[in-house]
Amino acid sequence: MKKVFVILTILTLLIVSACSSKSTGEDAGAEDKKWSPEKPIEVVAPAGPGGGWDTTARMVTQVFEEENLIDKRMPVVNKAGGGGAVGWAYIAGQKSSNHHLFVSSPPLILVPLNGQSQYSHEDFTPIANMIADYGAFAVKADSKWNTLTDLFEDMKTDPTKISVIGTSSPGSMDHMQFIKIAQAAGVDVKKVKYLSDPDGGGMTALLNGSVEVYSTGVAETVEQVRAGKIKVLGITAEERLEGEVLSDFPTTVEQGIDETFINWRGFFGPADMDPAAVEYYTAKFQELNDSGAWDEMRKKYGWNEMFITGDDYKDFLNKEREEMQVLLDELGLAK
């Protein structure tokens, strides 16, 4: 009997040992499949310094590094031109790279739709949307218009007499955010006189009286409002923003215009990224989004939280494309 017991004991130990070895091997295999960066991660802002893409890229990388969320350097590289098209072409040339990211927003949908880029959001790997920014419509401090309603009433009479300037090319974001709101207010948007200054001279043109209205991002107006040189007639958010100066900006909705425009901003990688790298970056952006440091950064720039990843992000982008296609078709700007 004792001999049988000893044999059974030995067999049990052998089975347990085999299972343990198998489990360890499986765990090691799973560990091997995990990815982490092996060198600096280049983050591309597809525009010059100082704009929304550049600011978002630099603030994101700053928090990543200061909070030690990623232990590799994340240099921001500016690739300006073509309303983003130059930067997108550069990233397209980094196919399969796990060490390149870029920030983008509605122009990634609008610019391809109006024929100014061969690359669209479908040519890249969406990783995470981080924020919602909003458009702002500004005029000089001494302008006769004090509300969007005042402005649009004059534009209904003759849109061609009022010049609107933005950094974006015709058919891209600064143009389309104004068109979307003006159309909801009853303006004949096909007659709106929109001027593009890709070199960022929109504020200068407004201040020197060359144009009457500046369509831009909320953050780009704060300093001049604080200096008393301009006033913001309306912003495209559903609700007023929080913060000094920002909370004074009236929304389009509260002025009786039932329309908004979200300037979403998120991060993408090249096509054919390793799924393990995508998983790594998605987790890191989640950590960033949940951090107190990033919350403070959002408040500083008047950005709202808008965190989307995975299939939800792809669905969101596809829906945005459908809506923008309709608007561009109406203007005759779709290619």
Structural domains of the chain ordered from first start: 42-132+264-331 (3.40.190.150), 134-262 (3.40.190.10)
Instruction: Give the mean model confidence (pLDDT) for residues 295-321.
Output: 94
**Residues 125 and 99: beta-carbon distance below 8 Å:** no
Q: Is the pLDDT of residue 32 over 80?
A: no
pLDDT tens digits, one per residue of 316-328: 999 999 999 998 9
Q: Three-state DSSP class for 214?
A: strand
Residue 27 is predicted with a pLDDT of 43
> Measured between alpha carbons, how far is 171 from 114 in angstroms, rounded to an integer?
6
Name the band, by pLDDT with cuts 50, 70 and 90, for residue 33.
low
Model-level pTM? 0.82
pLDDT tens digits, one per residue of 234-260: 999 999 998 889 999 999 999 999 999
C-alpha dihedral sign at 13, 15, 19, 22:
positive
pLDDT above 90 covers a percentage of the chain that reads 77
Q: CA distances (Å), 165 to each of 21, 50, 70, 286, in order?
A: 68, 18, 39, 36
